[in-house]
C-alpha cells in the first residue's frame, strides 16, 4: 500500500476489517468502506442467503450504512475480497449503478484490493474511477 495515500489506506483497512464479518455461504468474502461527504468512513460486508436475490453485496451494505447515518453522498469507496479467489476485486454492475446514485460525481475513486492472511495483499491495489467502471450509467 505504499503508493496509496494515507486516507485511502484507512479506507482499505476499514474494508478489510468489514470483510471479516461477511456472512458467506458459498461465495466470496467481501468488505467495503465508503467515505461519506462528511469525511467519515462507513463499512459494509456481503451477506449471503440461501434464497437467490436476498443477499446483499458489501458495497451496497456500506452505502446503506452511510445513508443510515445521514450521508447521501459518497466521495470514495474501497472494496477488498479474499485473495484465494481467482477473480479481480471489483464491484458488480448492480453495485456500480447503486454507487452512481450516491456518488459525488462520476470521477469518484474506487479502490479495489485482495486480502491475504488478514492484510491487504502487496501490489493488488487498483484504483479506477466510477466512470471507468461504469461508462454508461442509467440516469434520469
CA–CA–CA angle 134, 136, 140 (5° rounding): 115
Cell 461477511: give the residue: 22
Q: Is 88 a catalytic residue?
A: no
- Number of Cβ atoms within 10 Å of the Cβ of 5: 12
Kindly report the length of the chain. 140
- Assess contact for 31 and 44: CB atoms under 8 A: yes
Catalytic-role residue among 59, 88, 131, 132: 59
Alpha carbon separation from 43 to 50, 62, 70 (Å, rounded): 23, 5, 14
Cell 461527504: give the residue: 37
Residues tagged active-site? 59
Amino acid at each position: 500500500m505504499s503508493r496509496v495515500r494515507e486516507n485511502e489506506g484507512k479506507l482499505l483497512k476499514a474494508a478489510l476489517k468489514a470483510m471479516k464479518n461477511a456472512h458467506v455461504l458459498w461465495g466470496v468474502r467481501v468488505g467495503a468502506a465508503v467515505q461519506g461527504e462528511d469525511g467519515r468512513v462507513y463499512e459494509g460486508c456481503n451477506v449471503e442467503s440461501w434464497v437467490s436475490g436476498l443477499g446483499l453485496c458489501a458495497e451496497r451494505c456500506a452505502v446503506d450504512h452511510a445513508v443510515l447515518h445521514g450521508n447521501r453522498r459518497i466521495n470514495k469507496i474501497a472494496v477488498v475480497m479474499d485473495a484465494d479467489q481467482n477473480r479481480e476485486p471489483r464491484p458488480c454492475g448492480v453495485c456500480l449503478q447503486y454507487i452512481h446514485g450516491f456518488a459525488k460525481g462520476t470521477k469518484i475513486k474506487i479502490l479495489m484490493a485482495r486480502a491475504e492472511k488478514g492484510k491487504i495483499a502487496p501490489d493488488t491495489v487498483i484504483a479506477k474511477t466510477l466512470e471507468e467502471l461504469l461508462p454508461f450509467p442509467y440516469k434520469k
